[in-house]
Amino acid sequence: MSSPANPQAMVPKAPQKTRTAPPTMPQGWWAGQSRLLRYVLFGASGFIYFFAALMILCLACALSRGPEEWQKTLECFQSTPSRVYHAVALIWFIWVGLRFFSFFGPAQPRKIGPMKSPPDALFYIVFYAGMIVVNIGIAALLWGKIL
């Protein structure tokens, strides 16, 4: 992507009144435009989900092998790299979730039958409140406060 683009790529088939400029690839195009960088980061979230799924499978296998293996696996998750991964994954999951929920308001039709659509702010409030309630519920379940 750092090589210059083909100048013949935009040549018109017939002579035109105005000449088109030769195409050029901007330097640092992936980092210079924040929208593209956000798309790349959103796509890269698949790697975070992949490693989270591997950890869940590792925990399930350890649980099936007995209490000794379960304790060894839990001790492995107490290491510094594991804690760093979980901190990054938490921030990443929250960012992806908020970005995902931010699409709901603008994506709603302006009229739903005879009624007008609720304001976009209502969608944000409902989805963010729902996300907070679900996260608190999961945390309470994991801490043993529920069930």
pLDDT mean over 70-90: 89
**Do the beta carbons of residue 122 and residue 106 sit within 8 Å?**
no
For the full predicted model, state whether its pTM sits above 0.85.
Answer: no
Q: What is the DSSP string of 13-69?
A: SS--SSPPPPP-PPTTHHHHSHHHHHHHHHHHHHHHHHHHHHHHHHHHHHHHH-HHH
How much is the pLDDT for 57?
93
pLDDT mean over 93-102: 80
Q: How confident is the model at residue 1 (pLDDT cuts 50, 70, 90)?
A: low
Q: How confident is the model over 41-73, as pLDDT tens digits?
A: 888 888 999 999 999 999 899 989 999 998 999
Least confident range from 93-97, 99-103, 130-134: namely 99-103
d(CA 76, CA 73): 5
Task: Please classify residue 81 by burial: count the beta carbons closer than 10 Å to its beta carbon, then call 0-12 exposed, 13-18 middle and 19+ buried.
Answer: exposed
Structure tokens at 37: 């960088």
How many other C-beta atoms are found inside a 10 Å radius of the C-beta of residue 58?
Answer: 13
How much is the pLDDT for 77?
86
Structure tokens at 5: 């683009």
